[in-house]
Chains A and B, each alone.
Chain A
């Protein structure tokens, strides 16, 4: 137990960089704290206000007790989704595995410390949106001691089962991939398949909810047979059933212990298997081809991009979905598509919806927000080669354009025929895609240069958890929401085409500013980072 606590403490201090934070200057610490508090308060407030609406909605249907159960299920789903990407890295691919395995520590203790850390981080993640929801619930509903007890117990245990399931799934994907010569592609395909299923289920949530409300009487049975722990949460919370609560605790603890006991037996074998690599060792010297510096740097970027499933998936997902949607639009009539998008009753045109979709996706698909950080320990090489920082910048921006633009243009051309867009509309959408992609690529690079994470333990840590990737995802999202709101407010006073022109000119100006910043401040930053 003492060893478990020691590992857990070290892991948390290391992951959250607590020692580094404590050594930061007071001024910086205060500044960062203010930013974090400001963001948290605004985030909490917006979720709280939305949650109040949800509370009212559940009240109307006289289902208020069910509300938290629904949110608990959602939180479990989110935990599962995010853990799939972290599990392999956190549990089996950690940098210090070999060191710890050489020490007199049981494999089960190492695995338990890793799993508990993962559960704690997941708990912190769902805390961000569950706390405002719970507060909204408490403010509108008379809550007694029993409620507090049930909410607290369920909430604390909530991430355990999804974390375990996601860890198993993550391990399975990694294991199957390790059998193949092309690990990245297998991991990518399986992850993509999983996301499609996830998106499909999310899109069907309306139908599921309608079905649930209509069949409330049989709800118990449905949950009971589909996922028993949720049934226990439902039963405990709806009926103050202490037995269900105890059973829920027992199931969680038992699953945790079973997972640790079984996997710790093959922990070393799993780690070895995941690190296994095969060499063909049969190379015969061939004729080599020479390329220009620009081309060779770009090829290097492309190879890096395709070697990392998490990087590829995270940054190309939007564009891939755009293509999937464009291809599927071939099989539907224009009216059906608009109906599917729930736009048939609105005054919005198919041109506007494609434009918005393309702008949204190109603005959010930034490969550059991680590309400096992903150089990691290899950055010495670029810095010692006779190339200019501008050439490094250019290769990284070009990769972004190559990843996003060809597929986006292809999707636009398909939409031209399925949604009957005019040539002018197609050209305008393409221009918007072009401008937004450059803008996002340069913005991502600037942010990554400002917040590089050169010592990350894995690609996942850079792509999913670094400040730069979070900022370059949030800022475009917020900007697009603001623009939509502005247009909605002004739509009676301003013509759409003029509004679009203003945005395009603004984006063009931003691109020029970004370019100047990259060529001045960016160049200096590249020289400074080591």
Chain B
């Protein structure tokens, strides 16, 4: 479903690579946790997957389609939730969601149904008529999440998705992620909250200084220990 092949990326004239020769495969219906310390290369990898950053070396395939060759087709299958919900403050909440639905060509019936459903789950349905500039950070985050879900993506890429969310919304998002997986959606997400990663993910990858230092099934990787201990051992 999502295949990262020998992906490398460096910034500017820097000879040191931010991500070096990364190989990963995320299967259909799988939740993959991507962890690493600050500056390890998580966001660089995510930005390359979703088409924000260009790929220096290697390739990224979505459903066997190269993002380098056919970015638009790949993006149609994906959704991205960034760590900072910077969105158009001049639009209303509903205006933003309708904008996203228009871009992904979601039918009116489906968009109305999904927006209503998710807006009620995240308890922002009453605020959809207000300008986004009046929203709190958490509300913007919820709106970005709804925007990412309304076109029913095959792959969901999330960068620190729980930052700024209240406990109820965090709980709801986790449930949504599990439900999407059951329906066959692949989820790739980065987080510093290792307890969440441990409970939610089928597989996990640990990145350090741009290199994948561990990757595998959650149970196999951590054995009898918890993910935090493994992470600290590997990063010593």
Please give the residue numbers on chain A whose beta carbons come within 8 Å of chain B beta carbons, in ascending order: 25, 277-283, 285-293, 295-297, 299-300, 303-304, 306-308, 376-378, 380-381, 383-388, 527-528, 530
Contact = CB atoms under 8 A, between A and B. Distances in A.
Nearest to A308: B90
Quick one: which of A281, A289, A306, A527 has the most chain B CB within 10 A? Answer: A281
Interface residues of B, number: 50
B90 A303 contact: yes
Contacts of A381: 86-88
Interface in B83-98: 84, 86-91, 93-95, 98
Nearest to A296: B102
Nearest to A277: B134
Quick one: which of B52, B76, B134 has the most chain A CB within 10 A? Answer: B52
Quick one: which of A279, A287, A297, A386 has the most chain B CB within 10 A? Answer: A386
A307 B89 contact: yes
Nearest to B144: A381
B116 A285 contact: yes
Given A280-B130, A303-B91, A386-B72, A380 B86 contact: yes
Interface in B47-92: 47, 50-54, 72-73, 75-76, 78, 80, 82, 84, 86-91
A282 B126 contact: yes
A285 B125 contact: yes
A290 B127 contact: no
B175 interface: no
Nearest to B109: A288
B208 to A, nearest CB: 23
A278 B134 contact: yes
A280 B108 contact: no
A530 B52 contact: yes
A281 B87 contact: no
B98 A384 contact: no
Nearest to B100: A385
Contact of B103 (A306, A376, A380, A387): A387
B52 A384 contact: yes
B112 A287 contact: yes
Given A300-B88, A380-B86, A384-B52, A290 B101 contact: yes
Contacts of A291: 102
Given A281-B126, A283-B130, A303-B88, A386 B108 contact: no
Nearest to A285: B116
Contacts of B72: 386-388
B145 to A, nearest CB: 14
Interface of B: 13, 47, 50-54, 72-73, 75-76, 78, 80, 82, 84, 86-91, 93-95, 98-108, 111-112, 115-116, 119, 125-131, 133-135
Contact of A289 (B52, B108, B116): B108
A280 B104 contact: no
Contact of B99 (A283, A296, A527): A296
Given A296-B102, A385-B75, 8 more contacts: A278-B134, A285-B112, A288-B101, A289-B98, A290-B102, A290-B108, A380-B86, A387-B103
11 contacts: A279-B127, A280-B130, A282-B126, A288-B111, A288-B112, A290-B102, A292-B102, A300-B91, A308-B90, A377-B84, A384-B78
A291 B134 CA distance: 26
A530 B78 CA distance: 19
Contacts of A304: 88, 90
B52 A380 contact: yes
Contacts of B52: 380, 383-384, 530
A283 B123 CA distance: 12
A18 to B, nearest CB: 19
State the 3 A-B residue pairs at the shortest beta-carbon distance, nearest first. Answer: A307-B90, A283-B129, A277-B134
Nearest to A389: B71
Nearest to B78: A384
A384 B80 contact: yes
B129 A282 contact: yes
A290 to B, nearest CB: 5
Given A283-B128, A380-B82, A530-B53, A385 B103 contact: yes
A285 B127 CA distance: 10
B101 A386 contact: no
B188 to A, nearest CB: 14
Contacts of B78: 384
Contacts of A387: 72, 103
Given A288-B108, A384-B52, A283 B90 contact: no
A290 B130 CA distance: 20
B75 A384 contact: yes
B103 A384 contact: no
Contacts of A288: 94, 98, 101, 108, 111-112, 115
B134 A377 contact: no
Contact of B94 (A283, A299, A380): A283
A293 B127 contact: no
A429 B103 CA distance: 37
Contacts of B104: 385-386
A527 B54 contact: yes
Contacts of A376: 86
Contact of A283 (B51, B75, B84, B127): B127
Contacts of A277: 131, 133-134
A280 B126 CA distance: 8
A281 B128 CA distance: 8
A377 B115 CA distance: 25
A285 B109 CA distance: 12
Nearest to A294: B102
Contacts of B128: 283, 285
Nearest to A181: B131
A298 to B, nearest CB: 11
Contacts of B50: 383-384
Contacts of A289: 98, 108
A178 to B, nearest CB: 12
A293 to B, nearest CB: 6
